[in-house]
Structure 1
């Protein structure tokens, strides 16, 4: 891994994405049209309960700003569930490359691109690793530290626990006018804390799902979209011919402990 003052291991990159997602979800949320007469806390509890009860969800995270670097995910597109199943992709800042990720229980398939390998393993080791893998997936289980660390982003339970643990945070909120997000009628609620402004958009029709959360300030602007609550995670996995066992990279990649 690269040695810089802001160095993050693959595990830390996964943690960054997961924790950012959770952070965008913890502020109190807004209302269904027929519950607008409820107190802010009652309305918040409704929206939060839907998130905490979700068996699965599709998350799309985008981050922009001067405080992102090549070891930090600037985009994440994941469908994940409470049973440790996940499919999607991550992309790093500063042309640090990206990867596709599939997880089913303990089994993990990871397909980094060349830019990712070169950014994480300099001095020719990245090119060597990419040559070994080619246009295939690196395969193994979470018993392998490298795969376990990167697959750490695929943890809906961890996100929900983070939301639950921070649910008592008190932030003054301002409710906006009903609008639309991707065709869904929503009501925005905005709060400001520690120089950051967070706006949550909650569906006004049907189930009060949180469908978008934005955070601005602190050098980074983030947008998190949520959809497909309780829909199954796709189950297709790469074939044996499209996979390379992680053991073939011994000596090419050295996993380092997480530094959360």
Structure 2
């Protein structure tokens, strides 16, 4: 089965990043009609084989606050990400190329998370070694793992592509429900995931499957090396 979960974290120069880890279900069905588990397992396999994908997520909390993110990746070592917080207008952009991160928070982000005024141009990117898990920045990889139980929902259509709803619940997430929209024509990609929980809801869409990937470092004049930053 598959999980899509957005998390938020903070770090000294880059924080709070929504990231989605999606997909997968093990097991198989019998008979002519594939089981829900088999369909999600096939979707997991298809997503793992991708060489590029774009993930757009929108999270709304029950208190009305929320954030959105756009993430394009080769699922290996090259990706771009931008997270925007709705209430404050804070944004955090990231480019990862191999072992190097380029991070660009806007003025609202710096003031929100550090309590200090931004003392460099708005278009400055901070160059730093690729981050460790949990520091708030995004990894280019995605972990397609299974959990919980899954059942078939209704036939549907996402942007002109026929799909089927696969509904996932998990004992570890009481009250939470994931609805996966899996393509039933062409390759069985995950097209959309809707999560509804007690405290928040998240809608995640997938597109640009194996599309061109243009990930490049910012212009040198816009880059400040982290070793030059006076901490």
Q: Deviations over 1:179-199 (max 9, x none)?
A: 221232221122334201211
1:250 and 2:230 are equivalent in the alignment: yes
Question: Hey, what does 1:89 align to over in structure 2?
Answer: 82
Question: Hey, what does 2:221 align to over in structure 1?
Answer: 241
Match of 1:205 among 145, 169, 185: 185
Match of 1:155 among 124, 132, 140: 140
Match of 1:120 among 113, 120, 136: 113
For the 8 Å contact 2:107–2:122, the answer to whether it is kept is no
Q: Deviations over 1:57-109 (max 9, x none)?
A: 2111110013686xxx7211011123311113112353161122111111221
Match of 1:111 among 97, 104, 119: 104
Tell me the distance in 2 between the aligned counterparts of 1:36 and 1:183: 26
Higher helix share: 1
TM-score by length of 2: 0.80
Structure with larger RCO (C-alpha < 8 A, sep 6+)? 1
TM-aligned CA distance change 1:141 to 1:186, over 3 Å:
same
1:13 and 2:9 are equivalent in the alignment: no
1:222 and 2:202 are equivalent in the alignment: yes
Tell me the distance in 1 between the aligned counterparts of 2:32 and 2:81: 36
Report the alpha carbon displacement of residue 46 of structure 1 after superposing the two structures with TM. 1.1
TM-aligned CA distance change 1:89 to 1:37, over 3 Å:
same
TM-aligned CA distance change 1:92 to 1:36, over 3 Å:
farther
Question: Hey, what does 2:123 align to over in structure 1?
Answer: 135
* Cα RMSD after superposing both structures: 2.9
Tell me the distance in 2 between the aligned counterparts of 1:242 and 1:114: 16
Tell me the distance in 1 between the aligned counterparts of 2:76 and 2:168: 33
Q: Deviations over 1:202-235 (max 9, x none)?
A: 1121101001000012210001111122334313
User: Any unmatched runs of 5+ in structure 2?
Assistant: 1-7
TM-aligned CA distance change 1:236 to 1:213, over 3 Å:
same
User: Any unmatched runs of 5+ in structure 1?
Assistant: 1-6, 29-34, 252-260
Higher strand share: 2
1:196 and 2:176 are equivalent in the alignment: yes
For the 8 Å contact 2:101–2:127, the answer to whether it is kept is yes
Tell me the distance in 2 between the aligned counterparts of 1:134 and 1:39: 52
Question: Hey, what does 1:31 align to over in structure 2?
Answer: none
TM-score by length of 1: 0.72
Question: Hey, what does 2:152 align to over in structure 1?
Answer: 174
How many equivalent pairs are there?
A: 215
Tell me the distance in 2 between the aligned counterparts of 1:247 and 1:36: 61
Question: Hey, what does 1:98 align to over in structure 2?
Answer: 91
